[in-house]
């Protein structure tokens, strides 16, 4: 059974001006997401600035989300690392907190071979008894999971159940789904490709857009899954300009800026991320207004 269907929010990690994690604000936005139709919480992923959280902060934030959500929605913890031993440790800790699944990004920087990827994911998955979603985002990691590799993992490792596909390569995603032969839950990792990925057998999205438009993102997926294809397409296309603005600088700079513009007070990003360029901020504001958020 799938961990979730629909729109899971790749939620930001709110911070105070001094860079410390703002757990009071995190509690607030978790509740807002639940109240506005989000189908799952993905905590401490890329959008949550996992790469600049200490291990202690990272694990505390995952536990906080599990404790505050209290089973109202699935909570999926980002526990990937470019060190297999670290990914095992993070995954085991997250599992002990009661997460409904873990999201494990491909090892970044050291660029494992396909054989290395199979070894890495098999080791991490076998160290826990919770479902694993593999996260393929070559533009960030420099490492691409080939369809044959994903199929081997899906067929040979029982708790590797899903793929967050953010390669942008629809042909690769199609071949992956063909080889996996129904043994893989597929989630779009790109907000501008929700419908194309759903059309290849996907069941949802792990979304940045959901931070500012949770109900709308949920509806894009559910209208498609319910057979209302024209309505789903309109909702997807209506959001394209905003989605492009949310990615006109590296994520999560624009989405945190957008949330602050909406009065959410999620604070700054951590260095080396920085404030948004003024011209890009103007573009973002226009897109938010055109979409009806402001």
For the annotated catalytic residues, the residue numbers are: 135, 164
Q: For tokens 């978790």, what's the residue? A: 30
Closest CA to 149 of 110, 187, 167, 122: 122
- Count of other CB atoms within 10 angstroms of residue 51: 16
Q: Which two tokens stand for residue 117?
A: 């990827």
205 bridge partner residues: 7, 188
- What is the rounded distance in angstroms from the CA atom of residue 34 to the CA atom of residue 41? 9
Residues near 27 by Cβ (< 8 Å), separated by ≥ 6? 64, 68
Cα gap 140→19, rounded to integer Å: 23
How far, in Å, CA of 222 to CA of 219, rounded? Answer: 5
- With a CB cutoff of 8 Å and minimum separation 6, the contacts of 191 are 205, 207, 208, 209, 217, 239, 243, 246
Distance CA 171, CA 176 (A): 9
- The residues, any chain, with a CB within 8 Å of residue 237's CB and separated by 6 or more, are none
Judge contact between 273 and 21, C-beta under 8 A: no
């Amino acid at each position: 059974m799938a961990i979730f269907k629909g729109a899971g929010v790749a939620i930001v990690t709110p911070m105070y001006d001094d860079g410390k994690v703002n757990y009071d604000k995190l509690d607030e936005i978790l509740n807002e997401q639940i109240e506005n139709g989000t189908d799952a919480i993905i905590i401490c992923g890329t959008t949550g600035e996992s790469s600049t959280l200490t291990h202690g902060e990272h694990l505390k934030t995952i536990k906080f989300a599990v404790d505050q959500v209290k089973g109202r929605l699935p909570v999926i913890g980002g526990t990937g690392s470019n060190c297999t031993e670290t990914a095992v440790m993070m995954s085991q800790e997250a599992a002990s907190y009661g997460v409904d699944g873990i999201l494990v990004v491909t090892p970044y920087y050291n660029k494992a071979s396909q054989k290395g990827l199979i070894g890495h994911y098999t080791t991490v998955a076998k160290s826990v008894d919770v479902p694993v979603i593999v996260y393929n985002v070559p533009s960030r990691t420099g490492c691409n999971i080939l369809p044959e590799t994903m199929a081997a993992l899906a067929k040979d490792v029982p708790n590797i159940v899903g793929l967050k596909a953010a390669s942008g390569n629809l042909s690769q995603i199609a071949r992956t789904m063909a080889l996996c032969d129904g043994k893989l839950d597929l989630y779009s990792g790109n907000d501008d490709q929700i419908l194309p990925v759903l059309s290849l057998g996907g069941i949802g999205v792990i979304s940045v857009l959901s931070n500012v438009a949770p109900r709308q993102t949920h509806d894009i997926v559910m209208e498609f899954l319910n057979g209302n294809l024209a309505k789903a397409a309109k909702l997807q296309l209506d959001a394209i300009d905003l989605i492009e603005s949310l990615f006109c600088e590296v994520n999560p700079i624009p989405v945190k800026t957008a949330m602050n513009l909406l009065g959410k007070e999620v604070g700054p990003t951590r260095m080396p991320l920085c404030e948004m360029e003024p011209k890009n901020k103007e573009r973002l504001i226009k897109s938010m207004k055109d979409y009806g958020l402001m």
